[in-house]
Amino acid sequence: MRPPLPVGTARHWSRRLLRVAPARADHIPAARIAVGVAGPLFVLLATDHLSWALFASFGAFTSIYSRYEPTRLRLRRQVLMGSVLTACVVAGSLVAHLGAASGAALTVALHLLVPPLVAGGVALLVRWRGIRPGGALFAVFAVGAVATAGASAPVWVALLVAAGSAAWCVLLGVLWHWLGEAHPDADASGLPVDLPRRDGAAEFFRYALACFLGGCAGMLSGMSSPYWAQIAAVVPLSAPRRGDQIERGLHRVIGTGLGVVLAALLLGLSAPAWLVIVFVVVLQFLTELYVLRNYSLSLLFITPMALLMVHLAHPQPVAAMLEARVVETVLGVTMGLAVVVVPVLWRRWRAAR
């Protein structure tokens, strides 16, 4: 057995970044999650409503929650998170409609303030309920992407499509009980975590602050999609310890850089819509195979999947979209790590004085 490497050395960090954890029959939940995404998107394709694809995709993220947990607990938690994600889609649609009906100043204010409030609230909720995956990445993604895509449909359409997609994924979560995803012996009570009020307030504040700083950096960069910076800013915070948070941020930057290359290849094919949906479903399956085993490797698939989803519903110049994804990811991770590291440096400086 190799002796552990000193923390902070280049070999230590390279081993952590390249380490792939053992598999845990990941193909079973990965197949469920991929089917959860495929169903709503093919329905929208068949009915010629692909402009609503973002609403369906974010509702389908319901299936990502509560892996490796008993079926009854997964049912309760997915109903909760499906409702949360649907509310986030509705909030993004409201921001899009208000922005279209108002001036640029109010639009900027809404894009800077609404996602941080969502980030803080959802992060606090999932920590209090002990839900996995933790953090607020999917909620911020839903609000930011739907708000940026513009008023493509009435708010009630966003609500119905997202809710229908979430309900489909909840149903799959129950049906997969008979396909090997029962986990009756899993150690999960489902009871709320005893979270002191001060810790809860700190959790809300750091997520809201990171998301706000990421949004400001994204806006100042002049790129087309500042919400990518907001997403990247909250990513490191979901890890439990400071070293893990730094690792998660590095994973995000490295994986995004590699994933953008694959995204450029797939977007350069100018594939028909049905084939783009196939790409999204396959990438979702591959993502779920590796997301709990090596985050940067999973981002090789997450990045093109997310970009294809956005491009499917809201086509835009490919080069600008890819550039924005890279630049805003770096800016967002920087802001997120600043929220992690600066308080530590501040305490050390005060102690030294």
Question: How confident is the model over 275-331, as pLDDT tens digits?
Answer: 999 999 999 999 999 888 888 788 899 999 999 999 888 888 888 889 999 999 999
Res 3 pLDDT > 50: no
**Which of the two residues, 344 and 171, has the higher pLDDT score?**
171
Cα separation, 46 vs 227, in Å, equals 30
Q: pLDDT per residue over 178-226, tens digit each? A: 988 887 777 666 667 778 888 889 999 999 999 999 999 999 988 777 8
| CB distance 292 to 260 below 8 Å | no
Number of CB atoms found within 10 A of residue 124's CB: 21
Q: Is the pLDDT of residue 10 over 60?
A: no
Over residues 82-92, mean pLDDT: 97
Residue of 260, 297, 304, 265 lying closest to 282 (CA atoms): 304
Q: Is the pLDDT of residue 343 over 90?
A: no
DSSP letter string, 137-196: HHHHHHHHHHHHH---S-HHHHHHHHHHHHHHHHHHHHHGGGGT---TT-----PPP---
Q: Which of 116-125, 203-212, 242-251, 335-344 has the lowest mean pLDDT?
A: 242-251
> Structure pTM?
0.91
Please measure the distance between the N-terminal and C-terminal CA atoms of the chain and give it in whole angstroms: 43
- How much is the pLDDT for 337? 93
Find the angle CA(279)-CA(283)-CA(292) to the nearest 5 degrees: 175
Check residue 138 and give its pLDDT.
95
Provide the pLDDT confidence category of residue 121 given band limits of 50, 70 and 90: very high
Secondary structure class of 241 (helix, strand, coil): coil
Q: How many residues does the chain have?
A: 353
Gap between the Cα atoms of 259 and 225, Å rounded: 17
Neighbours of 25 (CB within 10 A): 10
